Amino acid sequence: MEYILNNTLFALGESQENTLLGILRMFIDHKFGARMVKRGQDPMIGTFWTKNIPADQKNIAQKQSP
């Protein structure tokens, strides 16, 4: 969980108009999250949000299904 918060803060930090209120919005509003990742300069953060998060969600879904 720590790595998710860390990458969220990095993504929001690269955009100067955001505050800590954007943390929750990153998870709720997918268009907002995609826009923040697209604006970012760090390729590691982009990779995290485009590759790692979808893979984690798929693994969780597989574990929850009977």
Q: How far apart are CA 66 and CA 54, in angstroms?
A: 20
Compute the average pLDDT of residues 23-50: 87
pLDDT score at 66: 63
Tell whether pTM > 0.95: no
Compute the average pLDDT of residues 6-15: 88
Residue 61 pLDDT more than 70?
Answer: no
Residue that has been written with the tokens 């879904």 in this structure: 61
Tokens at 44, concatenated: 């590691």
